[in-house]
């Protein structure tokens, strides 16, 4: 698989974003609209490498929109418009020469509801790998599938049913299958939009444990409505309110000593 820069010209080819603070992603002053409706308002935030950034805030404040900006998924919405800059390793992901397919491979997405494809466990994980490399040898593909299932802490549970339908797994297993599917294409950043919202506490704990392992190798961004989860897993925390990033910082600091009254009220459960 190619590991060249997303604009095809190498690191910092656009001259934008020199990666201050060693951040993996730099979001600089982005605003966005769906048609005439403003959603994100002048948001700037670093996403630090190999750590978990939690994003919290009340429903409709723009968390999912923000997350989708990070891998250009909003491009699929016709009325969507974005201003500002987002760089990945110093390269502008919205640069006209940026390779969107490569951006989405490097920055993978896991959705709120587990969405395995209606195919076998094996094929679910192999799907993206085949898309990116149609010539891949069977043996190599098998290695990638096994490795990805192991990294997603799912291997032991599915090793005897690789040909069973992905849809036959439990909800928590399906979500780990979706994570394995993302891991198989060798991403650098993993975005998760409320990945545990439809899961029971045991399955949720397994996903949290998995994310804490994954951050050793990947940069992780998680949207969550579960403040306990945000506390347990986040290294950095961003609080959104009405499209603005009201507060951002080290998670422990934001939680114990928020600068803004709105953050304090939200964390206290006074609205949400």
Ligand X SMILES: Nc1ncnc2c1ncn2[C@@H]1O[C@H](COP(=O)(O)OP(=O)(O)OP(=O)(O)O)[C@@H](O)[C@H]1O
> Which residues would be at the binding site for ligand X (CB under 6 A)?
34, 39, 57, 59-65, 77
Nearer to ligand X by Cβ, of 86 and 185: the residue is 86
> Are the C-beta atoms of residues 112 and 194 closer than 8 Å to each other?
yes
CB nearer to ligand X: pick between 67 and 149? 67
Packing angle between helix 138-151 and helix 121-132, nearest 10 degrees?
120
In the sheet with 236-241, reading across from the earlier edge strand, the strands are 107-110, 189-193, 219-223, 52-56, 236-241, 244-250
Beta strands of the chain (E only): which ranges?
23-34, 37-38, 43-48, 52-56, 80-88, 91-92, 107-110, 189-193, 219-223, 236-241, 244-250
Burial class (CB in 10 A: 0-12, 13-18, 19+), 21: exposed
Q: DSSP letter for 240, please.
A: E
Three-class DSSP category at 37: strand
CA distance 107 to 47: 12
Q: Between 32 and 64, whose beta carbon lies closer to Mg ion?
A: 64
Site string for Mg ion, 64-83 (x = CB under 5 A): x-------------------
Partner interacting with residue 59 (select from ligand X, Mg ion, none; CB below 5-8 Å by kind)? ligand X
Residue 34 binding partner per list Mg ion, ligand X, none, with a CB distance cut-off of 5 to 8 Å that depends on partner kind: ligand X
Q: Site map for Mg ion, 136-155, x if CB under 5 A? A: --------------------
Considering beta carbons, is residue 142 or 265 the nearer one to ligand X?
A: 265
> What is the nearest approach in angstroms of Mg ion to the Cβ of residue 111?
10
Q: Which residue number, 132 or 244, has a Cβ lying nearer to Mg ion? A: 244
Instruction: Give me the least distance between CB of 94 and ligand X, in Å please.
Output: 18
Q: Are residues 57 and 86 in contact, defined by beta-carbon separation less than 8 angstroms?
A: no
Which residues, numbered 179-218, are part of the site for Mg ion (CB under 5 A)? none
90 or 243: CB nearest ligand X: 243
In the list ligand X, Mg ion, none, the entry touching 62 (Cβ below 5 to 8 angstroms by class) is ligand X
Strand partners, 236: 53, 250
**Smallest gap from residue 57 Cβ to ligand X (A):** 6
Q: Considering the complex, what minimum distance in angstroms separates the CB of residue 244 from ligand X?
A: 12
- Site residues, Mg ion (CB under 5 A): 64
């Amino acid at each position: 698989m190619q590991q060249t820069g997303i604009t095809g010209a190498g690191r910092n080819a656009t001259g934008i974003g020199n990666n201050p603070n060693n951040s993996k992603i730099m979001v600089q002053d982005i605003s966005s609209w769906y048609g005439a409706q403003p959603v994100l308002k002048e948001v700037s935030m670093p996403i630090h490498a190999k750590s978990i950034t939690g994003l919290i805030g009340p429903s409709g404040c723009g968390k999912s929109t923000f997350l989708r900006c990070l891998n250009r998924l909003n491009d699929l919405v016709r009325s969507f418009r974005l201003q500002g800059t987002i760089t990945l390793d110093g390269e502008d992901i919205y640069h006209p020469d940026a390779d969107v397919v490569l951006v989405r491979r490097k920055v993978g997405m896991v959705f709120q509801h587990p969405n395995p494809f209606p195919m076998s466990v094996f094929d679910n994980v192999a799907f993206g790998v085949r898309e990116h490399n149609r010539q891949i040898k069977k043996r190599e593909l098998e290695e990638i599938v096994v490795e990805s299932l192991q990294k997603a802490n799912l291997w032991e549970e599915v090793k005897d049913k690789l040909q069973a339908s992905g849809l036959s797994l439990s909800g928590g297993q399906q979500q780990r299958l979706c994570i394995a599917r993302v891991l198989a294409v060798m991403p650098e950043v993993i975005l998760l939009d409320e990945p545990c919202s439809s899961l029971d506490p045991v399955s949720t704990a397994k996903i949290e444990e998995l994310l804490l392992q994954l951050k050793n190798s990947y940069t992780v961004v998680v949207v969550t409505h579960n403040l306990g989860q945000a506390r347990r897993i986040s290294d950095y925390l961003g609080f959104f309110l009405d499209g603005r990033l009201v507060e951002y910082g080290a998670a422990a600091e934001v939680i114990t000593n928020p600068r803004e009254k709105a953050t304090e009220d939200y964390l206290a459960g006074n609205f949400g």
